[in-house]
Amino acid sequence: MSRRNFLSLLGGATLTACAPAQLAPVAQAASASSPRKGVGAVAFDLFTLFDPRGVDQRVAEVVGNEPGFAATWKSKLFEYSWLRAASGQYRDFEGLAGDALQCATRTHHVELSPAARIRIQTAFVELQPWPDSKVVLAQLRERGLKLAPLANFSPSMIRTLLTHADLLGAFDDLISTDRARSYKPDPRAYALAEKSFGLPRSQIAFAAFGSWD
């Protein structure tokens, strides 16, 4: 589903999945209409709520000017998650992040102290929310929609990230794919939303960041 159609489905609320310069003010974009009949809940990829560029910024702070290091780390992390999902050999997201970081250090011949590794990996739980995330989540809750992140992050990572951003209370549940012992795009990961919300998939909207999601 396209972003435009997704927003129409929810009655015009602004959901962020782009850089701040591309955002429309919430006051102009949101409407007073209620959600289309049948939609009772929204599950979010976390990057529709948080700016992922914080990961690259943290890498630059720790590693310095090492071209491609952040890209290698992130691409390997998602590659590992897909391979783990396809092979049925689960390892939690924090473990995968460490494995991918090790690969990036070997590829780019970078030495990192244990403290530096921890500082880089904690970037995922210290991301900044998009400027309108808190307002839009409140608007959706006012319309009676159930809300939850549906993320590859481990349960503790999701809770830490939302607590850091003061958004923990915005959600009815925190859905980690750890419950399915797999990762998106495994269908079992998305099916967790049906169990969490107690609704059929036809009544759940999903806010995706990546086109593959």
Describe the crossing of helices 114-121 and 53-63 by its angle, rounded to 10 degrees.
160
Answer for the pair 11, 28: CB distance below 8 angstroms, yes or no. no
Please give the model's pTM, rounded to 2 decimal places: 0.80
Q: Which of 45, 92, 178, 186 is catalytic?
A: 45
C-alpha distances (whole Å) from 63 to each of 78, 95, 111, 114, 120 are 21, 20, 9, 13, 9
pLDDT in tens, 49-106: 999 999 999 999 999 988 899 999 999 999 999 999 999 999 999 999 999 999 999 9
pLDDT in tens, 91-135: 999 999 999 999 999 999 999 999 999 999 999 999 999 999 999
Cα–Cα distance for residue pair 189/170, rounded to 1 Å? 21
Please state the rounded mean pLDDT for residues 22-51.
65
Active site residue 45: yes
